[in-house]
Every structure is written in structure tokens, then in C-alpha cells.
Structure 1
Amino acid sequence: MEENGERNSRNGSFKLGVKDVKIHTVVELSSVDTQNLLVEEDREKKKKPFTKRKSLSQREMKCLVAICDTLLPSIKDHSVVVDESVANFYQTSASMAGTPQLIATLISEKLQHPNTWLLRLTLWLLSTWFGTLILCGISSFSLKFPFFHSFSQLSLQKRQQIMLSWSLSYFNLLRMFFRSVKLLTLLLFFTQLDEAQNNPSWSAIGYSGPDPQFKAQLMNNDNDDYAEEIIGPLNKGIVHLNNPPNIIADTLRKFGFHASFTTRKPKVSYNLSYPSLVIKCDAVVVGSGSGGGVVAGVLAKAGYKVLVLEKGNYSARNNLSLLEGPTLDQMYLSNGFLSTEDMSVLLLAGSTVGGGSAINWSACIKTPKHVCKEWCGRYELELFESELYEEAMNVVCEKMGVQCEIEEEGFNNEILRKGCQEMGYPVSNIPRNAPKDHYCGWCCLGCKDGKKKGTSETWLVDLVKSGNGAILTSCEAIQVLHKRKKGSDRKIASGVSFAIEYKGTKEICVVESKVTIVACGALSTPSLLKRSGLRNENIGRYLHLHPTTMAWGYFPDSPSAELWPEKDKKSYEGGIMTAMSTVVADFEKSGYGAVIQTPALHPGMFSVLMPWTSGLDIKDRMRKYSRTAHVFALARDQGSGIVNSPNSISYQMNDVDKENLKKGIEKVLRILAAAGAEEIGTHHNKGRRLNVKQVSYNEFEKFVQEESSRPLTDISTPLCSAHQMGSCRMGSNPKESVVNQIGETWEVEGLFLADTSVFPTALGVNPMVTVQAIAYCTAQSVLQVLRRKRTW
């Protein structure tokens, strides 16, 4: 197999653009040890024997092929065949599409999950008869010689029975293994592309691929004015690091930065004492999302020189593919393959210019009053009931053009709204940072026209237009630099170090700044602080995830011709979030409950979440994809987790969180049925479903009660999170928090945090307005610091 993961298959030449991701172990370093971080990846590989090899062995590969073809087998002579595309879909197995080879590349070279070595070990065990006996039991035994068989030698029927038993096993490791191989197989199968940027299964499941209007615009509009419009507003402010340091220095000087390049001396390696590139600025901001983007824009517009370091790339409008696989690869943290250590929660987080605001679902809800009251009272943070914070929320909402009107509602949201109205549940419009005519279900893959006002369309535009800032892309900070403050025991921030690689050589670069703002997100900020030598025991603790659980409803026909004049509305079309119910939110009492909303599920993520009970069953479920609505319950969690690194996350809900999700999923099932669903079900691995049209009231009630009372203590029901908060929380004293209420760390003066990591608790609603408002307030405090500093 080629290094880029390409492979010819019976269905064409498929490819998945999985980028190389540098893995840095979380270690605490003094400034003189920074160079050691660059070789930490090699050290880590030596610790795990099953991750040391670059590629899977032939035995492991044979086992992986058998597993993939168990999940997605070739099914011939299926009765439900309406055209050639459907017939091909059922007849195509995972191996016929080349999916196992793509998975092998991911496992051996890309995956960063701390238990990847266990995945390799399990594959190896299943490639042997004794390992298969241990993991599969008596099912691997036969009466014919050689009596005991490896997994790949078993019949398809036996393999499917074994995998189904793993999905429901009492042993957590077996459930984890099932979840892992299911996720990899289904996600890659339904997102991989042929040379025409198409997937043959899409036609069979009723999926268009990228937005047809977007594709038509790109093909039919090649005039200069249109080309300039779709490029996006940040191109002139982007500095790429794929050039030699002297060229980077020249580029930064054109932006008005003081940048000096040092020529390498013979036999001398670059390090913090001898960096290849030194850049001076007023403020360095690490991260360009809803926190970092706001701070960068405010400071630059005030006249200060601001340099933004962004780990991801800039996906300009004309560079967007609106394809699920490539976008997960290019715009999401860890290529979209991110979960807690035990695989109990699947995580989605942005890693691109604009951060989460570039790929989120547009919801812009102000910080609820009961949350402001709790943060002000219980946590003694007066900021959240101040005029400044109220002003900040108004400013950021105006900046993003937040409004509540909707011209036309999409499939999922109309289901939610209709079901709530039928049940008498409260339902309201969700404010969005998009105009009322923004009917787009692809916003989780980037905004095709810039109408969704994330930071790359607002605050970062201020940065670029001011002439005072620049954005370094594909630039991952190594550590925050700090030194002892004169006449004090306290440390003071002095900048950030990062590395560039040119012609195979990694070189250390330094940004010297008056203030440093870290806004890497709740999953990455703790690691950077720890690498930088900060010792506050609260760093990485109190992580909240807003865990969500979903239910689905199948609607073969429109519930109401009057409501839906177009019968063929698809589940992936329309504004992702326009309706919300607070029927179990408990805003007026404890402040902890669950809100009910709708997700964006393109085929890959849809397939991962749907239950698997057999290869035929999952293909039948996927055939209903375009008319299957999903609604979820999102809990404001009191339980919490710990971030050891962006890829090593532990998390535990408490009993109250579980009960709130159960209450939420009960309401969701009733909403779907009331909206006219023919079938309803949850994501529990047993795969139970109910034909609502064919059962009695008592049978319906029994189903709802049983499905909503299932325990959420294991991974038999997948949970998801698109919001990560609180891992470096704000507070009134350093024993319980990482930053004070102006966003400055207790340990290092001049080091500010401006992302969701500073949330004192979980928020309970979509966090974009809250994080931007906090960042705006933090920016005002940074401005006061800069006004007191001397110029360079």
C-alpha cells in the first residue's frame, strides 16, 4: 500500500486524505529542555511494542479484513433492490472498497488514542487460534480438524455472532474493541472517495455529497470578482511555515513585525538559547477560535502588534470541499478520531483557523441568567453579573449578526418542532450567527459562503484589516516562555516557542511578547501549560463535556403535506440548529438538566452512531439515512473528567447526569413519535426499534420506558460531545482554579487564558457566545496591561 493511503479497488480508486499529525507527549520542561520535545515522539514509540512497527503484519491485516467484512459483508440476491446503485451497495463489502487498507494506515501511522496499542494487540491475538479462543470462546471451536481456528477462518455467521456478543459484553475491553473497529470501518467506508470525489454508496442511501449549489457555483463562476469573493477575507494575513526561516522573517517584516533570522553555526543545534527565528510583538495569541480570535481582533484594532499561532490550516472558502472525510481530516482535532480513553464519549473539536466557530452548528445562546448567578455567587466571580459582561455579550452577538428568524426549516428541526407542539412541550427558535435564509446542512464542514459569522469572518478580519496582525498556520506552540520577575517570587510571561521543519530539520523559533494569551481549547490548553512548567494542580481537572445521547425516527413520507410541500427533504439539509426544547432543562430550579436539540449527521457519523446487529441490518439502516431524523438530549453535566493530553482524556458522569439524559431521551422518543415517525429507536447496541404505526399505546409506553431507562454506565450506548469546558477553570483563589476573573493565570503574570477551559462549570447550552464574551472581557484586561508596558 502506498504511503498516502491510496489504493485501487474493485469499486475504483479510493483515497482518504488523512494528514500526518505530530504526536507530542505531555511533559513538563524547563526552557533549556525544549529541544527534547522534538524527539519525544520517538521515545514514546519505543515504549509500546505493538505501535513500533510502521505497518500491520500480514497476520494482523488478514484479521482486519475479516473484521471489516463482518461489519460490512457482501450481500447478494437481496430482496430490496430498486436500481443498480442499491444492488452494488449491498454487494460491496468493506474489503472490495479497500477500506481495510485505509484503516491499516490509520492504525499504524495516524491514530493517537492512548489505547491504540491494545487495538494492535487484539488484532494479533485474533490472528492466532489461541487468541481467538480466549476472545471468542467456544465459537472458535469446530468438530473438524484443526478444531480451533483463528478469527479469519470462521464463517461469516459465526463472526457476526461473536462481534454482536462483543458489543454487549460484560468486559469493557471487548466493548471498546468493538466500538473502535466499528467506528473505523463504517466511518471510512462511507467517507472514502474515488477519483471523481464520489462514494458509490451515496446514491444508494440518498446522499448528495457536497452541497450541489456549492459545486455548481464553483464550476460556473470563474470570473475574477467571484473568485476574490470566495477566497475569503484572511488570505492576506496568513503566513505559511513551509518556507525557510529567512523567508518567514522577511514576510513578517512586511507585516510590521520585528523578526530576526540566525544562520546555523556548524555543529550547533537550534534551541531556546540559540533560536533560528526571533519575532517580537505586543501580544502572541495561541489559537484562533472563539476565544483567541476575539482577543486578537480587539488588541489589533486597538493598535497593538498581534501574532496568532494556529495549529490548524486556513480553509478558505474556495478550498472547502464540504466532504465529510477530508474535512474531518483537515479541520478537526486528531482528524476527527477523538474519544475518551475508554471510548465512552466520542469528541468533536475544531482544529483550523477559526477553531470550533468554523465548523460548529451556528447556535448563539447568551449565558443563561441562572448560570451567571451561580458563577457570581458560588464561585465569587463578580464579572458575570457586571455591566461589562452584559455589554460583552451584546457586542459579540452584534459582531456575529445573531438573529432568531428562519425562512425555511430543515428536516430534523421541523420534526423536533412539530413533535414538541403535538406533545405540548416548550419549543423556541435558536439564535444563530447566520441570516434567516441560511439553509445549509454543511456548516459542520465549513461555511461555503461566509454567511456563518465565525471568528474567521469577524474578529480575525479585524486583525488582518488593521494591518497590525498576522496568523501563522500549521504552527503548534511548544511551550509558553516565562522568567522570574525582578524583585518578586512570581514569574512573568515572555512569549512562546514553536518549531518549524525545513528540509527535514526541525528548528526552534521564539516569539517575544509583552503579554501571552493561550486559547487552544479545553482539550489542548492544559497540555501546553503543563509543558511550560506550570504546577497548578487544577490544570486539566474539572473537564465538562455536555454529554449527549440521541434517538432516531424514520419518516418514509412527510408527516404533513401542508408543512412540507417538498416530500423529499433530506436529513442532512437545512439549518443544523434552529429549534430547541427546554422541557427537561430545569433552568428555574437546580439549573442542571438537559436541553433537546438536533445534530448534523452526514453518512460517516450517522453510520458510527447507529446500532450494528448484522451486516445486512446496518445496510438496511443506511438505506433509510436520508429520511431518518435525529434528536438529542444534551446534559449540563456535574460529573467531570481529567485532560492528561488532547488524546488522553478520562471522564465520568455522575448519577444526576445520567438521570437527566434518561429523562431527555424519553422526551425525544415521544417527540419523534408525535411528529409522525414510522419507526423509532435509540443508539443502544441491542438495536431495538419500534414500528409506531403497528403497536398499541401500552406497547409504545413499554418501549419508551425500557429504552429511556437503560444504564449509561458503559459504552453500549454511544455518547457524544461537541463542547469541552472547564479544564483550566476561573475562580477566586489558586487552590480551586487556574485563572482569576480577568483571565490571568495565578502562577504567571502576563499569561492569560481565553477559551472554554476557563468556564467554572458546564454551561448547559451552546457555548459560543459565552466564550466570546469572556474573551472580550479578558481582552479589555490585556489592553490595560499593554498600556502600562513600554514599547519595544
Structure 2
Amino acid sequence: MPVPDLFAEGLARGWKTYDGSRLEDDLTLEADVAIVGTGAGGGTTAEILSAAGLKVLLIEEGPLKTSRDFKLQEPEAYASLYQEGIGRMSKDGAITILQGRAVGGTTLVNWTSSFRTPAQTLEHWAREHAVQGHGEAEMAPWFAKMEERLGVAPWALPPNPNNDVLRAGCEKLGLHWKVIPRNVRGCWNLGYCGMGCPTNAKQSMLVTTIPATLERGGELLYLARAERLLLDGEQVSGLECLAMDARCVAPTGRRIRVRARHYVLAGGGINTPALLLRSAAPDPHDRVGKRTFLHPVNFSAAQFDTPINPFYGAPQSIYSDHFQWDDGVAGRMSYKLEVPPLHPALAATLLGRFGEENALRMAELPRTNVMLALLRDGFHPDSPGGSVELRSDGTPVLDYPMTPYAWDGIRRAFHSMAEIQFAAGAKAVLPVHADAGYVRSLAEARALIDSLSLELYRTRLGSAHVMGGCAMGEDPRQAVVDSLGRHHQLENLSIHDGSLFPTSIGANPQLSVYAFSAKLASALAERLKA
């Protein structure tokens, strides 16, 4: 039975959308609320506001791609569904940053891992960053609401062999591990979540909140880059957008002017600060774009005698928080351990080397596992995060220095991952570093890891989680918005995305963005209706 294309059916019923690449003239649009970004924050906010009877306009820089477009092909998916065609990197080019750029945002291409914000993180925000009203008990009903809305539950099937390495190694060593909750319904267990779900099983914004918004009369503008907010004293009076070509590479020359009662920014931890910077929005304490966090990630590969086939099955289903809080909240940099899927293009880049040596490593892909460590940054004075800046053409870039404090966490994570992989039966382990090769014993791995010069470019680093840059909090000297997401200086501007977080959260952030956005959007709906 063919999978229905929800958007094709909706458009046939009269959903109202605008394709920026097809505009022949400039355009003016009006709404009660204009929302920039269609990912976890924007989609959640749109559904709640439209259900409250407000006319919502969703604005997305990327294209509209739906189930019929998802062919599970890396070259096509990465170029069309990711920021900068999967080429987004830190300013120095040392850290690859994976973010979605299409209707549905990163929820369209993430690996479905859904964690509540750890209680330790919420307590730290209240204590150190003047965040009010978002403690564990206060957030619990909002997490429950969004878990029910999006089908979030621990993955019920056995883990694929790739994830089972983490389970088996932890069990052998007596380390804590658990099953990852995933936001799926009727998942086919294909393993290609990072290229868009062709079966509509992943409960992304594309198949949940955005259709609900359009069904209630909301509108969607895509292939339109939000260029700048128009300011009039303490009010936002309008928003200027640039129409983009069909590949979302260059502006077409057409412009879209948006007028609304209220504006919500939900473009994420790089694009939201960038829009404020381009707009010269009031920033009396120089907080916009500062303390932006990534969860820096390093990797460890392992070869096994038995098939792993890391490209099949639920991409992430097992995790370990054993090391996450091992030195308290503000001690040494700690980390969460997970497993990424390995499709050929991603694997060839990650495993490194060139020519024959790369080919030999790729020949072992069916028997290769890779583990990753998400480093929890922002809780210690030596973990200040990075800063969003504007290039000469106004596009954003994240300057993200790595400190000795962070490198210490990277080295300890290499040790933890190698020990777990050998405990799970690996015949050889490779810390993913330019100077490392496969070693065949834990003793060799320990000696190798201790000898590595941990530095940019030689250590393979990445991240798919961008947080901070527009921190929330009651003290305007520290924060861009208050604890309800309201801009401290602009009366009709709110922020509902991961840029709100004063630190990283220490877990995959999508469920945190859903829950915080649901809470903030519900309060915003009450204010606007009043």
C-alpha cells in the first residue's frame, strides 16, 4: 500500500502555501503571528497558536520536501535538506555542524532520539542563570504533552547490531545504559532517518504540527530567507524576507514583506542570533550570539568479526549516561555515549584517510561500529561556548574555540568508548583522529589515546546540536529574553527554539525544544487573545 503524501492531499483541500522560488513579483503577507523557522520550536508554536484561533504564517528558508521526495540517497538528501548543503562548519572549519534546512527543520532529518531535559540542567539554569518557572516538576506536564503528541516512547524492538555494541559493552563492564525514546509511529526500521522519512513514521513537524496549522487556516512561506526585522522603537513593525531559488543557494531578487501583531523567532541557535544581528536589534549588554553551545562530538570506530551493518535499523536506540554527571554538574567536562548510523558517504568522511587506505576501511563497513560522545558544555567557567558572527554577505558563522578543558573531555571519551568496544568483542578499535590507526588490544588503545595530540583538524569533531546564543533568564545583563521567551527590549518579539538554552542540555535537544516551546506558546496565546 503506497504511503500517502500528506502535503499533496492537503494542498488539494486548499492549504495555502507560497513558494519563494516561483514568485514573479514582490509579495506582502499579513498574519496575527509570523514564525521564522519550521522546526521543533516553530512547528510546535504554530500548532498551539493556530488552535487558539490566531492566524499564523510559518516562514522557512529551505524547500518543501515530502515523503515522495525522500529517496534514501545521500547526495540528494544532504544537498537539499541540510544547512549549507551539509557544508555548515565552525568558523575555523574544524567542526562539522549538521542542521536541517527544509520545511520541518532539523526534525525532518534527525535520528529521532527524544530525551527530557535532565533535572540537573534545569536546576543549574535556575541557580546560575536566573531562569524561573522551568524546574523539573513544572516542565513534567509539558514533556508528557509533547511525548503523547509525537509518539515518543522507548524503542520497542531489539537494537540493531550497531547499537547493541554499546549495550553489550556497558553490560560487560557494569556501566549504566538505557533504551532511547524515539518520536515515531509505525516505524519501518529502515535506518535512513537522516535523509527524510519516506513512510511518514517519524513524527517530525512536517507530518504533525505543520499540517495541523495549515488545516486551521495557517499559511506557509518557503524558500524565503528572513533577512531582517524592521524596528520602530520598542516594536517590530515588519519582517523582510528574500525569495530564494529552487536550490536555496541564491536570492532571486524578489522580496517578501511580512506584517504581524507578534513575531516568533525559531530558526535555531545559529540562524536566530544572526537575524537579530542583521536587524541591529537592541542588545545593550552584548548577549546576542554569545554563549552558543554545540555538544562537541568525537568518535571511536571498531571492527568486528560478525556483521554490524550500521546502515540498517533504528539509527539510535541505546545510550549511556554513565559518565554524564560523574564529577557533578560543574566539574570536569562529561559526556553522553550514543551510536550514529553509518551510510557510505558519511562513513567515508568519518573514517578518514585517502585512496587505498580509505577504500580498505570502507570495505570493512559492514563489520564496523562507530560510537560517539556528546560533550556537555557550558556548565564550567572554562566552557564558555562560541559566538555567532556575520560574514560579509550577512550569512552566519559560529566561532567555536576548543579549550584545554574540552580537550580533556575528548581524551577521556576516547578511552571510555575504546574500553566499551573491546568489551563488546571488537577485534580492533580506531580513535577517529588523523594520527591514529586501528589497534588490537585495550592496552594498545590506551597508549595510543594518551599519545595523541588533541588539536583542531587532527581530531575529527562534529555536532548536530546547536543551543544558546539567545539565552533566557530574568536578568537582561545575562539574557536576551525572559523566562517566557519574551525579548527584553522588543515588546512584540519572542524566541522559541534551542537558542533559549543558557547552556547545552546534556542530551539530544529536540524534546526539550518541543516542551519549552509548547509551554511558552501556550502562554503567548493567552496574552495575544487577551
TM-score by length of 2: 0.91
Other structure's SS at 2:206 match: helix
Q: Is the 8 A contact 1:538 1:728 kept in 2?
A: yes
Note the C-alpha offset of 1:506: 2.1
Q: How does 1:303-452 map to 2 (within 5 A)?
A: 303-385=53-135, 388-435=138-185, 438-452=188-202
The Cα shift of 1:501 comes to 7.0
Query: In the alignment, is residue 532 of structure 1 matched against residue 269 of structure 2?
Result: no
* Residues 679 and 690, structure 1, Cα contact 8 Å, conserved in 2: yes
Q: Name the CA shift for 1:309/1:335 in 2 (closer, same or farther; >3 Å).
A: same
Contact 1:284 1:513 in 2 (8 A): yes
2:207 pairs with 450, 457, 464, which one?
457
Post-superposition offset of 1:721? 0.5
| TM-superposed deviation, 1:381 | 1.3
Q: Judge conservation of contact 2:41–2:496 (CA < 8 Å) in 1.
A: yes
Identify which of 495, 506, 515 aligns with 2:238.
Answer: 495
Within 1, Cα distance between the matches of 2:528 and 2:159?
46
CA distance in 2, matches of 1:681, 1:773: 38
Change (3 A) 1:625 1:434: same
Aligned to 1:662: 411
Which one of 388, 391, 406 corresponds to residue 643 of structure 1?
A: 388
CA distance in 2 between counterparts of 1:584 and 1:391 reads 28
Aligned mates of 2:255, 2:152 — CA distance in 1: 42
Shift of 1:387: 5.3
- CA apart distance, 1:581: 0.9
- CA drift of 1:587 comes to 6.0
Asked whether 1:754 is paired with 2:496, we answer yes
Match of 2:341 in 1: 600
Could you tell me how far 1:227 is from its partner in structure 2?
A: 6.0
Partner of 1:483: 232
The CA distance in 2 between the partners of 1:227 and 1:422, in whole Å, is 42
Instruction: Report sequence identity in percent.
Output: 25
User: Does 1:289 pair with 2:39?
Assistant: yes
Task: Give 1:173-252 correspondences, 5 Å limit.
Answer: 226=2, 228-229=4-5, 235=11, 236-244=15-23
Task: Indicate the structure with greater strand content.
Answer: 2
Amino acid paired to 2:313: G
Structure 1 position 655, deviation (Å)? 3.0
Distance 1:238 1:587 in 2: 49
| 291 and 457 in structure 1: CA distance in 2 versus 1, 3 angstrom threshold | same
Task: Indicate how the Cα distance of structure 1 residues 242 and 771 shifts in structure 2: closer, same or farther if over 3 A, else same.
Answer: same
Aligned to 1:86: none
The answer on 1:778 being equivalent to 2:499 is: no
Deviation at 1:648? Answer: 2.4
Letter in 2 for 1:643: V
- The CA distance in 1 between the partners of 2:360 and 2:327, in whole Å, is 43
- Residue 233 and residue 730 in structure 1: after superposition, are their counterparts in 2 closer, same or farther (change >3 A)? farther
Q: Based on CA coordinates, which of the two structures has the bigger radius of gyration? A: 1
1:229 deviation in Å? 4.6
- Looking at structure 2, the residues matched to 717 and 366 of structure 1 have their Cα atoms a distance apart, in angstroms, of 30
The one-letter code matched in structure 2 to 1:626 is P
Equivalent position SS for 1:382: coil
The structure-2 alpha-carbon separation of the partners of 1:493 and 1:233, relative to structure 1 and needing over 3 Å to count, comes to farther
Is 1:710 aligned to residue 452 of structure 2? yes
Would you say the 8 A contact 2:38–2:104 is kept in 1?
yes
Whole-Å separation in 2 of the counterparts to 1:684 and 1:313: 35
Deviation at 1:703, TM superposition (A): 2.5
CA deviations on 1:630-673 (whole Å, 9 max, x unpaired) are 00111101321111135522112333332222222211101111
Q: Tell me by how many angstroms 1:605 deviates.
A: 1.7
Q: Name the CA distance, whole Å, in 2 between partners of 1:230 and 1:436.
A: 16
- The structure 1 residue matched to 2:362, chosen from 619, 622, 639, is 622
Aligned mates of 1:364, 1:370 — CA distance in 2: 17
d(CA) in 1 for partners of 2:9, 2:311: 28
| Shift in alpha-carbon separation, 1:405–1:611, aligned structure 2, 3 A | closer
Distance 1:664 1:242, change over 3 A: closer
Instruction: Find the aligned partners of 1:615 and 1:244 in 2 and give their Cα distance.
Output: 46
1:169 alignment partner in structure 2? none
**Larger relative contact order (CA 8 Å, sep ≥ 6):** 2
Find the partner of 2:439 among 669, 686, 690: 690
The 1:619–1:234 alpha-carbon spacing in structure 2 relative to 1, beyond 3 Å, is: farther
1:212-232: CA deviations, max 9, x gaps?
xxxxxxxxx6xxxx3645767
Alpha-carbon spacing, 1:636–1:320, altered in 2? closer, same or farther (3 Å):
same
Name the residue aligned to 2:319: 580
Q: Could you tell me how far 1:242 is from its partner in structure 2?
A: 3.7
Note the alpha carbon deviations across 1:93-139, whole angstroms, 9 max, x for none.
xxxxxxxxxxxxxxxxxxxxxxxxxxxxxxxxxxxxxxxxxxxxxxx
Q: Distance in 1 between matches of 2:497 and 2:509?
A: 10
In structure 2, distance between residues paired with 1:630 and 1:505: 42
Q: Which residue of 2 aligns with 1:511?
A: 258
Quick one: which amino acid aligns to residue 510 of structure 1? R
Q: CA deviation at 1:588?
A: 7.5
Match for 1:712: what amino acid?
Answer: L
Distance in 1, matches of 2:481 and 2:10, equals: 31
Paired with 1:460 and 1:309, the residues of 2 have a C-alpha distance of 11
* Runs (5+) with no aligned partner, structure 1: 1-220, 247-275, 485-490, 558-567, 693-699
Decide which of 511, 514, 522 is 2:269's aligned counterpart: 522
Task: Report whether the alignment pairs 1:742 with 2:484.
Answer: yes
Give the letter for the 2:511 counterpart: V
Q: Map of 1:103-122 to 2, 5 A cutoff? A: none
- Corresponding residue for residue 470 of structure 1: 219
Partner of 1:291, secondary structure, is: helix
Query: Counterpart amino acid of 1:548?
Result: V
Task: Provide the residue aligned with 2:248 in structure 1.
Answer: none
Tell me, in whole angstroms, the C-alpha distance in 1 between the residues paired with 2:492 and 2:412.
Answer: 45
In 2, the alpha carbon distance for the partners of 1:438 and 1:417 equals: 22
Take 2:175 and 2:10, find their aligned partners in 1: how far apart are those partners? Answer: 43
Aligned to 1:278: 28
Provide the C-alpha distance between the structure 2 equivalents of 1:310 and 1:376, rounded to a whole number of angstroms. 32
Structure 1 counterpart of 2:362, which letter?
A: M
List alignment gaps of at least 5 residues for structure 2.
246-250
Residue pair 2:90, 2:398 contacting (<8 A) in 1 also: yes
Letter in 2 for 1:773: A
SS at match of 1:584: coil
CA contact (8 A) 2:298 2:462 kept: yes
Structure 1 residues 244-299: Cα deviation after superposition (integer angstroms, max 9, x where no partner): 467xxxxxxxxxxxxxxxxxxxxxxxxxxxxx432221000000000111111110
Alignment check: 8 A CA contact 1:611 1:687 kept: no
**Structure 1 residue 582, shift from structure 2 partner:** 1.5
- Which residue is equivalent to 1:610? 351
Contact 1:231/1:318 (<8 A) preserved: no
TM-superposed CA distance for 1:604, in Å, is 1.3
SS in 2 for 1:595: strand
- Going from structure 1 to structure 2, the CA distance change for 1:653 and 1:510 (only over 3 Å counts) comes to same
Q: Kindly indicate whether residue 336 of structure 2 is the aligned counterpart of residue 554 of structure 1.
A: no
The alignment of Structure 1 onto Structure 2 pairs a total of residues equal to: 510
Contact 2:187 2:201 survives alignment (8 Å): no
Instruction: Say whether the 8 Å CA contact 1:593–1:657 is kept in structure 2.
Output: no
Quick check: 2:224–2:244 contact (8 Å CA) kept in 1?
no
Distance in 1, Cα, partners of 2:16 & 2:420: 47
